[in-house]
Amino acid sequence: MEDSRKVKVVNRVFGEVGYSVPDMNNLRRNFQGKEEKILTFEELRKLSYIPGGNRLLRDYLIVEDKEVLDALDIHPEPEYFYKEEDVRRLLTEGSMDEFLDCLDFAPSSVIGLIK
C-alpha cells in the first residue's frame, strides 16, 4: 500500500485524543471530540508502531478504510465502525442478539456510547 494514500479518520469519543509520531519529525496530532481528519497511510502505519498506537486506532479512532486496517493488521468486528447514530439505532430498533454482539465485540469507546 502506498504511503501517500489518504484515509479518513474520526475521533469516536467526545474527549480529545492526541498522539505524536517521532519518525515524522515529532508530528503532533490532536483530535477534538468527534473531529474528522484526512491522514496518510504512512502516518497511520508509523502510529501503529508506537506503544499505544494500535490501541488508539482500535478503540478511540475510526479508520474508515477496511483495506488500510487490514494493512495495519487490525481486523475489527463490524461494531468497530459504529458511530453515535448506529448505537442509537441499535438501542431503539436492534434485536437482543445484535445488542449482545455489540457488548461482546465493540471497542470500549462504543460501550461508552451505549452507557
State the average pLDDT over residues 42-49.
97
What are the phi and psi torsion angles at 36 (to 5°)? Answer: -110, 145
- CB distance 110 to 102 below 8 Å: yes
CA atoms within 13 A on the CB side of 51: 0
User: pLDDT (tens digit, 9 = 90+) per residue, 8-41?
Assistant: 999 988 899 999 999 999 999 999 999 999 999 9
Give the Cα separation of 111 and 104 in Å (integer). 9
User: pLDDT (tens digit, 9 = 90+) per residue, 81-99?
Assistant: 998 899 999 999 999 999 9
Residue percentage of the chain with pLDDT more than 90: 85
- CB distance 57 to 65 below 8 Å: no
Q: What is the pTM for the complete model shown?
A: 0.87
Residue 1 has a pLDDT of 87
